[in-house]
Amino acid sequence: MTTDEKTTMSSLPDEHRTPLLKRLTGANTLWIGLVLLVLVATFGAIRPDAIFQVTTLQFLLAETAVLLVLSVGMTFVIITSGIDLSVGSVLVFASVSSALAMNAVSGGDATNAGWGVIGFGLVVALVSGAVWGLLNGLLISRAKIPPLIVTLGSFGAAQGAALLLNNGSNVSGIPDKLNRTFGSGTYFGIPNIVIVAAVVTALGALLLSTTRFGRYTYAVGSNEEAARRVGISVRGHLTKVYLLAGTLAGLAGFMGNAFFRVAVVTGHETDNLNAIAAVVLGGTSIFGGMGSVLGTVFGVFIPAVLEKGLVIIGVREFWQPIAVAIVLVAAVWLDQARRRARNQR
């Protein structure tokens, strides 16, 4: 007892902090980052000429930018131990309504529209995403319907609504100006759409790791009851998190418009699953309470690099989903094993 007491007192000035290196190696973000690095290095060693080409990298980044924005929102949702299956459909809905709105204010065709119209289109995309997110959030937090069911519902509903808006066809007439600047434009060789995604990701990472909002996100996912008892408004916070995910899906829809020059109504059916896979690959626990945006960035790029790399080294691309599946299941298995070991004490 006395010796025990002594150690407590003598170690008072220290902050009892675990050394940085130990904290880093203990985090699975580091390991998943290494996996990505190894993948890039392996493909690079086999075909350095094809992999490290500016256009290859530009394409890889630009194609991944939209998924990255969806996945940042998904990271917050999954850390609250929730799930959002609706992101792909909300993306389509926002993309279609934004394109239709831009056309409507330009007399039917917005191809030659200016910045005012583009700004209006952005606001429409964000608001339509936010509305679906808010609906998800309210149904989950107030009506207490499980997130899986609520977002399965809005997954179908948002897709259906998007098809109704334009009778099931794609919407063309995206302003040229938008495409030239944000779609295909680059800044020092980096596609502008990638810069937008990077800024969103950085803001998301800061929001999650340094602010009270982020802290509450972890707390709600870790132990909802504990969060409620210390006076955190759990219902309000869950609503905000789904609102954030929906708004980011709206932004992703707008980015898609800029990149593809058309609002497409198909091709986003598995965005939700890709985003969930990226988040979980990145070390965020599907049971909530743990995770990081940086991990999600790695998780987004692992499937993308696998896909591109396999094609370039001449392996049939059908192997890609199989390879991703193996990594994904292994990641969750590791997470569970770690939790069991930790909770045994």
- Residue 340 is a binding residue for other proteins (CB under 8 A): no
Comparing CB distances to other proteins, the nearer of 98 and 239 is 239
Give the total residue count for the chain: 345
Q: How far is the CB of 290 from other proteins (least distance, A)?
A: 5
Quick one: CA torsion of 295, 80, 67, 266, rounded to 10 degrees?
Answer: 150
Residue 235 as a binder of other proteins (CB under 8 A): the answer is no
Distance, in Å, from the CA atom of 177 to the CA atom of 154, rounded to the nearest integer, reads 32
For other proteins, which residue of 45, 316, 318, 345 counts as binding (CB under 8 A)?
345
Give the separation between CA 63 and CA 153, rounded to whole angstroms.
27
Contact flag: residue 231 with other proteins (CB under 8 A): yes
- In angstroms, rounded to a whole number, what is the distance separating the alpha carbons of residues 30 and 162? 40
* Segment near other proteins (CB under 8 A); pick from 104-112, 159-167, 257-265, 282-290: 282-290
Give me the phi and psi of 285, to 5 degrees please: -80, 130
Is 212 near other proteins (CB under 8 A)?
yes
Span from 69-77, 213-221, 237-245, 316-324 in contact with other proteins (CB under 8 A): 213-221
Q: Which CB sits closer to other proteins, 107 or 231?
A: 231
Among 3, 8, 55, 167, binds other proteins (CB under 8 A): 8
Own/partner contacts of 134-138, CB < 8 Å, gap of 24 or more, are 134/239, 134/242, 134/243, 134/246, 136/84, 136/86, 136/242, 136/245, 136/246, 137/238, 137/239, 137/240, 137/241, 137/242, 137/243, 137/246, 138/239
169 or 210: CB nearest other proteins: 210
Which of 39, 50, 123, 232 lies at the binding interface for other proteins (CB under 8 A)? 232
In this structure, are strands 186-187 and 190-191 parallel, antiparallel, or unpaired?
antiparallel
Interface positions with other proteins (CB under 8 A) = 1, 4-5, 7-9, 12, 15-18, 23, 210-213, 215, 218-219, 221-223, 225-227, 229-232, 288-290, 339, 342-343, 345
